[in-house]
Amino acid sequence: MGNARQKMTYDAIVIGSGISGGWAAKELCEKGLKTLVLERGRMVKHREDYPTAMKHPWELENRGRMPDKFKEENPIVSRCYALDSATEHFFVKDSQHPYIQEKPFDWIRAYQVGGKSLLWARQVQRWSKFDFAAPERDGFAVPWAINYDDLAPWYSYVEKFAGISGNKDGLETLPDGEFLPPFEINCLEKEIQKSIKANYKDRHPVIGRCAHLTKPQDVHLQGGRGQCMARSLCYRGCPYGAYFSSNSSTLPAAEKTGNMTLRPDSVVEAIIYDEQTQKAVGVRVIDANTKETAEYFAKIIFVNAACINTNLVLLNSTSNRFPNGLGNDNGLLGKYVAFHNYRGSMTASYDGLEDGYYFGRRPSQMIIPSFRNVYKQETDFLRGYLVAFSASRGSWQGGSWQEGFGGEWKDSLTKPSGWGVFMMMQGETIPKESNHVRLSKDQKDAWGIPQLITSIGYDDNDERLLKDFLQQGAEMLEKAGCKNINTRDSGQAPGLDIHEMGGVRMGKDPKTSLLNKWNQLHSCKNVFVTDGACMTSTGSQNPSLTFMALTARAANYAAEELKKGNL
């Protein structure tokens, strides 16, 4: 090997530095592997590069609201709940990486070191045995290659390091984990919880599990992380390191080993496949700013570019052996993309409990694990939905937030008014071959890479599931004594849930899946995919904890196989 190539050679390459990429970097580096982490976005250093983290609302232009001109120029990203003038520097603007929507799809992206781990909603729930068994039992997608017992120890492993606030609830539909103390449930939420338990034997409202340090342990303190202050300014970047992000947690752990090389501004064009060895040997990278190309080499490659971009990278990684994309012998790469249905929500008001209040701005909601079709098929739709709800006091009257002006109105804002309730759904969608992404044959992006075409939409199952939530949610609130219940179908496009999954799904059979039980490409064993692209089905839980556990499990296996000489 020449000196030039030797300098560009590592034991492992990780594509992406977000939630799953950060975990891959940490695990591989701690196993002693010299690891190159490639991030297409800019460098963001923990604490140093959170410019708005400590600003008051009046220090932000327009008190944080984005100007109309920005919304006109960026209709897609402007629809994201977390975007305002305090966070917009963490988001990809619509023109910066264009794509082609065959069906409406809001692709929300965050290109920087840490990726969307700086912007995520930090809600984490384990899957249950029912979620892994669902595709095989109900006859959709393909059977999962693993089950809950395979992943349970890895859930525990990542939970201890990440720091998860929650309560041990003893539910088989939402397995308990390694928890820090839970956030407090307020008095109205307790009333609603009590009512739902009394009226429904299959519905179990519990405090949500979230990746926040309510009581930091030694592993967190040693990493320089501190306690959550319940400020609810998380999307700006947390200077306390109180919520889990790659920047505050996994990347510093990887860097501490001395084995990580982090290269931002590195757009991966393709993975390089060697016809003789029948392995991937490296990646081709385009500098985001200069557009210069370079090649880096490694024995194992982890693709963690986030679901849609991971599909893009693999589809663009063509060779004589793989003319339709790396590992794509069965033509299923980019297909069976799924997401979470967020369209349903409702608000309500509540009379009473005016002597009760609460502390801070809690970062978690109450949740009800999916109660539809858990043990058997019992509705006219497949699978179900997680319900999240919260109660709060503010300028709330008659089920809406009140605006006003003048001294009397301002004085009223300093006093809690009536209680309001917000409830939403997070529905499982069924993976379908027609929901897919593919490469454009004639349009390219600024780096000369084919633009992505998204063809992802809802179906009748999604509509029936939504209808059921709106009926059941309103009924639960009504039985709890809530009034002025207003249900809403947002009609939002897929993608705005920011939970896209699939396209490079796991499975037992190479004819119907791309990855095996260790997240390896069936036909290119030294390439691993452990972000959302690997998911066979979506469950109804927030997916990031499962990505973390899958990544840690796969990285441990990859390091062991490499040392045995099998990769």
For each of the chain's 567 residues, which pLDDT tens digit applies? 566 677 889 999 999 999 999 999 999 999 999 999 999 999 999 999 999 999 998 999 888 999 999 999 999 999 999 999 999 999 999 999 999 999 999 999 999 999 999 999 999 999 999 999 999 999 999 999 999 999 999 999 999 999 999 999 999 999 999 999 999 999 999 999 999 999 999 999 999 999 999 999 999 999 999 999 999 999 999 999 999 999 999 999 999 999 999 999 999 999 999 999 999 999 999 999 999 999 999 999 999 999 999 999 999 999 999 999 999 999 999 999 999 999 999 999 999 988 888 888 899 999 999 999 999 999 999 999 999 999 998 754 444 456 778 888 777 767 777 899 999 999 999 999 999 999 999 999 999 999 999 999 999 999 999 999 999 999 999 999 999 999 999 999 999 999 999 999 999 999 999 999 999 999 999 999 999 999 999 999 999 999 999 999 999 999 999 999 999
Distance, CA of 514 to CA of 506 (rounded, Å): 6
Global pTM value:
0.96
Residues 13 and 301 sit within 8 Å (Cβ to Cβ): yes
Q: Which two tokens stand for residue 269?
A: 């064009």
Both tokens of 328, joined, read 């794509």
Contact 36, 304 (CB under 8 A): no
**The pLDDT of residue 360:** 82
CA separation for the pair 51, 53 (Å, rounded): 6
CA pair distance 475, 478, nearest whole angstrom: 5
pLDDT digits (tens, 9 = 90+) for 5-35: 778 899 999 999 999 999 999 999 999 999 9
What is the model's pLDDT at position 399? 42
Q: Nearest to residue 567, comparing CAs of 530, 531, 527, 534?
A: 527
Crossing angle for the helix pair 544-563 and 148-162, nearest 10 degrees?
Answer: 100
Tokens of 314: 């693999």
187, 233 Cβ separation under 8 angstroms: no
No. of helices (H) and no. of strands (E), the chain: 12, 24
Task: Kindly give the pairing relationship between strand 179-180 and strand 206-207.
Answer: unpaired
Max Cα distance, the chain (Å): 79
* Distance, C-alpha 445 to centroid of its chain: 25
Cβ(261)–Cβ(240) below 8 Å: no
Burial grade of 433 (CB within 10 A; 0-12, 13-18, 19 or more)? exposed
Q: For the segment 408-448, what is each residue's pLDDT rounded down to a tens digit?
A: 877 776 777 789 999 999 999 999 999 999 999 999 999 99
3-state SS record for 414-425:
CCCCCEEEEEEE
Place of tokens 């519905």: 203
Which residue matches tokens 């069924």? 430
The mean pLDDT of the chain is 95
Burial class (CB in 10 A: 0-12, 13-18, 19+), 322: buried
Closest CA to 501 of 453, 536, 466, 528: 536
Give the whole-angstrom CA distance, residue 554 versus residue 50.
32
pLDDT at residue 309, as a whole number: 98
Distance, in Å, from the CA atom of 177 to the CA atom of 156, rounded to the nearest integer, reads 6
Q: List Cβ neighbours of 235 (8 Å cut-off, separation of 6 or more).
A: 82, 86, 87, 90, 118, 119
pLDDT the model gives residue 40:
98
- Report CA 385 to chain centroid distance, whole Å: 17
Between strands 266-274 and 293-303, the pairing is: unpaired
pLDDT at 318: 98
Give the DSSP H or E segment for 450. strand 450-455
User: How many CB atoms are closer than 10 A to CB 182?
Assistant: 20
Q: At what angle do helices 544-563 and 19-30 cross, to 10 degrees?
A: 30
- The pLDDT, as a whole number, for residue 357 is 84
pLDDT at residue 409, rounded to an integer: 74
For residue 160, count other CB atoms closer than 10 A to its CB: 16
Q: What is the Cα–Cα distance from 453 to 237, expressed in whole angstroms? A: 31
One DSSP character per residue, 116-166 reads GGGT---B-----HHHHHHHHHHT-S---SS-HHHHHHHHHHHHHHH-EE-
**Euclidean distance between CA atoms 204 and 383, whole angstroms:** 17
Whole-number Å distance between alpha carbons of 161 and 249: 8
Single-letter residue type at 24:
A
